[in-house]
């Protein structure tokens, strides 16, 4: 049995919202990866007291200072590689009378920010683009926001959460409509802290309304479950027969807005069992369970439409699994992949083709035909942790050889990934340990 580190999306939100609460929050299972360390460090720069994130996920106590306790930072806020840190922070700061400059690494500085700064600007916040249009670095001057109703063109939890956080810190109602339902961790956590959040809709439009928040948010007591997105790499390894007769992963978050890959893997013929399901006790909790993956004969499928937001971060590993499944797998409606940590459509297609895979890049996805002979070669990760780990799984399968050019990037979301992969794959050399000169 293995475990994977805490859920990245929930960990970011737990840190941000604990800082806004009044009193002591107790948080365990937080992801100690680089992305969440970025969130912790920007919160410290804003005046919140956030201890170091323990490598083993043990409990920390965050003493919230309330929105009024946060101050303009002396230095630039470096969000590292983390889009969630940058976009959620822009929302949180938009509602406060503070001024801050946000920046990030090369990958983050190439990602669009107007998807949050435009609606936040309409609410009343001010933004100046210091460098390229639509990119970090950005100066935000918050305060003076009005209530707001916004129709987003993308199903994005980062956009939705940025607006919700602006509503929380400015204490104004906010309504967001999105063209598909994105992950709902912010809504669940805000309810838990005393806010009123309503939601509803259908597969093609989802509406979320923050109607009221108490003047002080209740502190959180939270155990963050394992990240389904991290578990996905080991589900793939188990299904592809790279980890013996079964692979059990304990305590994985199973929020239904995140588990589209479970449905798709099963549709491909994958056997995955769910054991010890702990349902969320109320809409403000998060469900979790143990997952067991068995070696399976997989076949290609078409993946498109409203499942895409439910597996958006898992598409790199899905592409790799497709190369080992029989027949054609086609992913469509996933143009958002082009603005992730890398252009994941291009980077996935180029790397798979470079290893000898049969892949075609499409404007909004890709087509992969499998299985081809042994896949061998070196891949370029382009600062993208999920690309590195997806190809790492491929390289851990018997007969395949993949050298990952920058294995350390996995630390963004999954410290210890390469060691765990090596242990599960029965001690076979892994790309992280087998770096080319
Ligand atoms: C995230 C939302 C998703 C996801 C990202 C984490 C979040 O991004 O890809 O890894 O925690 O809100 P979008 O909201 O841009 O789809």
Q: Tell me, what's the pLDDT at 25?
A: 97
In a domain, 433, yes or no: no
Indicate whether 151 and 269 sit together in one domain: no
Is the C-beta atom of 9 inside 6 A of ligand 1?
yes
Indicate whether 105 and 237 sit together in one domain: no
Residue whose CA is at the smallest distance from ligand 1 atom 10? 313
Total tally of structural domains belonging to the chain: 2
Shortest-distance atom of ligand 1 to CA 9: 11
In a domain, 181, yes or no: yes
Kindly report, residue by residue over 57-109, the tens digit of the pLDDT. Answer: 999 999 999 999 999 999 999 999 999 999 999 999 999 999 999 999 999 99
Indicate whether 251 and 277 sit together in one domain: yes
CA distance 94 to 109: 20
Confidence grade of residue 427 (pLDDT, cut at 50, 70, 90): low
CA distance 376 to 378: 7
252 pairs with which residues across the strands? 226, 289
* pLDDT for residue 280 is more than 80: no
Residue ending a domain, among 206, 223, 240, is 223
Cβ atoms within 10 Å of 246's Cβ, excluding its own = 13
Indicate whether 171 and 218 sit together in one domain: yes
Shortest-distance atom of ligand 1 to CA 159: 14
* pLDDT for residue 387 is more than 50: yes
Is the C-beta atom of 312 inside 6 A of ligand 1?
yes
Which tokens go with 304? Answer: 């498109």
CATH of the domain at 329: 3.65.10.10
User: Rounded to 5 degrees, what are φ and ψ at 161?
Assistant: -70, -35
Report the C-alpha dihedral over residues 367, 369, 373, 374, rounded to 10 degrees: 40
Indicate whether 107 and 167 sit together in one domain: yes
CA of 156 to the centre of ligand 1 (A): 6
25 pairs with which residues across the strands? 62
> Which position has the token pair 């050019």?
405
Residue ending a domain, among 223, 241, 269, is 223
In a domain, 205, yes or no: yes
In a domain, 143, yes or no: yes
In a domain, 406, yes or no: yes
Cβ atoms within 10 Å of 265's Cβ, excluding its own = 27
CA of 401 to the centre of ligand 1 (A): 31
Q: Tell me, what's the pLDDT at 435?
A: 36
Residue whose CA is at the smallest distance from ligand 1 atom 4? 313
The count of C-alpha atoms lying within 13 angstroms of the C-alpha of 420, restricted to the half-sphere facing its C-beta, is 21
* pLDDT for residue 430 is more than 70: no
Indicate whether 201 and 311 sit together in one domain: no
In a domain, 117, yes or no: yes
User: What is the Cα gyration radius of the chain?
Assistant: 21
Q: Tell me, what's the pLDDT at 82?
A: 98
Residue ending a domain, among 199, 223, 247, is 223
Q: Tell me, what's the pLDDT at 207?
A: 98
Q: Residues with catalytic annotation?
A: 313
Pocket test for ligand 1, best of 17, 84, 179, 414 (most atoms within 8 A of CB): 84
* pLDDT for residue 389 is more than 90: yes
Q: Is 435 helix (H, G, I), strand (E, B) or coil?
A: coil
Q: Which domain, by its residues, includes 405?
A: 228-424
Confidence grade of residue 203 (pLDDT, cut at 50, 70, 90): confident
Kindly report, residue by residue over 245-263, the tens digit of the pLDDT. Answer: 999 999 999 999 999 999 9
Indicate whether 177 and 254 sit together in one domain: no
Q: Please, is 371 exposed, middle or buried when counting C-beta atoms within 10 Å of its C-beta (0-12, 13-18, 19+)?
A: middle
Whether the CB-CB separation of 271 and 238 falls below 8 Å is answered with: no
Indicate whether 52 and 184 sit together in one domain: yes
Is the C-beta atom of 156 inside 6 A of ligand 1?
yes
In a domain, 269, yes or no: yes
Q: Tell me, what's the pLDDT at 434?
A: 37
Higher pLDDT, 282 or 396: 396
Cβ atoms within 10 Å of 56's Cβ, excluding its own = 8
CA distance 5 to 31: 6
Is the C-beta atom of 103 inside 6 A of ligand 1?
no
Which tokens go with 435? Answer: 């770096």
* pLDDT for residue 437 is more than 50: no
Whether the CB-CB separation of 17 and 220 falls below 8 Å is answered with: yes
Residue whose CA is at the smallest distance from ligand 1 atom 16? 156
CA distance 68 to 96: 8
Indicate whether 167 and 259 sit together in one domain: no
Pocket test for ligand 1, best of 15, 160, 307, 312 (most atoms within 8 A of CB): 312
Q: Tell me, what's the pLDDT at 433?
A: 41
Indicate whether 417 and 337 sit together in one domain: yes
CA distance 22 to 187: 19
* pLDDT for residue 139 is more than 50: yes
Shortest-distance atom of ligand 1 to CA 186: 12
When mean pLDDT is compared across 282-291, 309-318, 365-374, 397-406, the lowest value belongs to 282-291
Indicate whether 63 and 207 sit together in one domain: yes
Indicate whether 394 and 337 sit together in one domain: yes
In a domain, 70, yes or no: yes
């Amino acid at each position: 049995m293995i475990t994977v580190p805490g859920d990245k999306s929930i960990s970011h939100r737990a840190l941000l919202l604990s800082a806004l609460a009044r009193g002591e929050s107790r948080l365990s299972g937080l992801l100690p990866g680089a992305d969440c360390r970025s969130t912790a460090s920007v919160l410290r720069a804003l005046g919140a007291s956030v201890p170091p994130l323990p490598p083993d996920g043990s409990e920390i106590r965050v003493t919230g200072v309330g929105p009024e306790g946060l101050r303009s930072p002396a230095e630039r806020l470096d969000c590292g590689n983390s889009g969630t840190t940058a976009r959620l922070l822009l929302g949180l700061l938009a509602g406060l009378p503070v001024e801050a400059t946000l920046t990030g690494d090369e990958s983050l500085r190439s990602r669009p920010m107007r998807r949050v700064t435009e609606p936040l600007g309409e609410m009343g916040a001010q933004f100046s683009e210091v460098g390229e249009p639509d990119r970090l670095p950005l100066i935000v001057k918050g305060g003076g926001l009005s209530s707001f109703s916004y129709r987003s063109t993308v199903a994005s939890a980062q956009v939705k959460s940025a607006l919700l956080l602006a509503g929380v810190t400015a204490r104004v109602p906010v309504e967001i409509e999105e063209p598909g339902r994105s992950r709902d961790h912010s809504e669940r956590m805000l309810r838990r802290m005393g806010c009123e959040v309503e939601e509803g809709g259908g597969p093609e439009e989802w509406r979320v309304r923050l109607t009221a928040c108490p003047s002080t948010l209740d502190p959180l007591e939270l155990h963050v479950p394992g990240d389904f997105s991290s578990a996905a790499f080991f589900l793939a390894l188990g299904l592809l027969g790279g980890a013996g007769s079964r692979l059990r992963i304990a305590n994985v978050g199973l929020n239904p807005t995140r588990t589209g890959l479970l449905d798709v893997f099963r549709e491909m013929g994958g056997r995955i069992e769910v054991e010890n399901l702990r349902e969320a006790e109320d809409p403000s909790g998060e469900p979790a369970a143990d997952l067991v993956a068995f070696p399976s004969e997989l076949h290609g499928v078409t993946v498109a439409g409203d499942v895409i937001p439910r597996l958006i971060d898992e598409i790199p590993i899905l592409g790799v699994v497709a190369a080992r499944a029989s027949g054609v797998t086609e992913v469509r409606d996933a143009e958002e992949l082009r603005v992730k940590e890398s252009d994941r459509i291009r980077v996935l297609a180029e790397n798979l083709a470079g290893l000898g895979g049969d892949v075609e890049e499409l404007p909004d996805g890709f087509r992969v035909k499998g299985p081809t002979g042994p896949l061998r070669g070196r891949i370029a990760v382009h600062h993208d942790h999920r690309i590195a780990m997806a190809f790492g799984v491929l390289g851990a399968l018997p007969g395949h050889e993949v050298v990952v050019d920058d294995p350390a990037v996995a630390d963004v979301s999954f410290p210890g990934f390469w060691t765990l992969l090596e242990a599960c794959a029965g001690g076979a050399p892994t790309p992280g340990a087998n770096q080319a000169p």
